[in-house]
Amino acid sequence: MDKVIITGADGFVGSYTVQYFLEQGVTVLALDMGETPRRLAEHPLLTYKCCDITDIAGMLEMIPAGEYDTFIHFAWAGSAGAARVDYQLQMQNALNTVACLKAAKELGCKRFVCAGSIMEYEVEAAIHSQGSHPGMGYIYGMGKHIAHCMCKSIAVDIGIELVWPMITNAYGVGELSPRFVNTTIRKIIKGEPLQFTAATQNYDFVYVTDVAKAFYLIAKNGKPFCEYMIGSSAARPLKEFILEMVQSLAPDQTPLFGDIPFTGTNMPLCVFDTSATEADCGFKAQVSFAEGTALTMEWLKTAE
């Protein structure tokens, strides 16, 4: 793996991943929507191009064929906030992913690595349970799952290696979304009540620098047509993560459990298993949840 294309390269996880690849001496063509990058700094091995992945013809015209060996796909609209339930947008994301897979083949890439999500498993559990009533929050995961299913068949058909990393819950410095870690830290900063569900459902979190390292190792060492979980290797009930966070960031505050009803799906711990990622790719997370949330809180204090 010497030269890679990365879509969504100026996003939260994408930008950290670009930086890690550059540090390993890999040449990177970074593609994103902005005329100039907001997060990426200049580097001798980095080329940035403004690219809308919905314009595959334009992408193929701007990138010389035969120059790159690996295509890494992060670009995905509506990964946070209200857009996660926009089913037309999420379906289009899946179709865009297939189009990028086929473009990677045309460009001469040997391998296509796409950012999947543990929510793909949540979708399967929720949809295939008799009498289940899945909420709209599953739409995002459905888009990822559809993309995964279609890409696997099409990759076999056109002859390109597909590798599918699946992120549990990435968080860290640089993300402003209203997802769980950020929302809880904002409440701590403002001194608001820390109210949660009973938080007995199994969960996992992984700091963004660990995610970036995982993508490098999975892209380099992962076996074709395999999926690899990216997590902390220490998944456990959400309540334990919350207690660790509060003890680290606000030991004088008391979290309140059970005040909010839980309407999601509780997955068994085996779903979060990272043993294949460790065995095949050599990845193991390094940043503890207490350390990662402390870094995130210090950044959020100044970012907002």
Where residue 214 falls among pLDDT bands split at 50, 70, 90? very high
Report if residue 200 sits inside a domain: no
Where residue 238 falls among pLDDT bands split at 50, 70, 90? very high
Report if residue 23 sits inside a domain: yes
Report if residue 190 sits inside a domain: no
Where residue 260 falls among pLDDT bands split at 50, 70, 90? confident
Q: How far is the C-alpha of 234 from the C-alpha of 78, rounded, in Å?
A: 28
Report if residue 105 sits inside a domain: yes
- Cβ-defined contacts of 153-156 (< 8 Å, 24+): 154/98, 154/101, 154/102, 155/101, 155/112, 155/225, 156/225
Residue range(s) defining the domain that contains residue 26: 1-167
Report if residue 31 sits inside a domain: yes
- Give pLDDT tens digits for 31-81: 999 999 999 999 999 999 999 999 999 999 999 999 999 999 999 999 888
Q: Say how many domains are in the chain.
A: 1
How much is the pLDDT for 86? 97
Mean pLDDT score across all residues of the chain: 96
Q: What is the CATH number of the domain that holds 99?
A: 3.40.50.720
Report if residue 238 sits inside a domain: no
- Give pLDDT tens digits for 86-109: 999 999 999 999 999 999 999 999
The two three-digit tokens of residue 242, written as one number: 């919350």
**170-171 and 206-207 beta bridge pairing:** parallel
Average pLDDT score over residue span 5-24: 98
Average pLDDT score over residue span 171-180: 94
Report if residue 230 sits inside a domain: no
**pLDDT over 80 (residue 142):** yes
Report if residue 140 sits inside a domain: yes
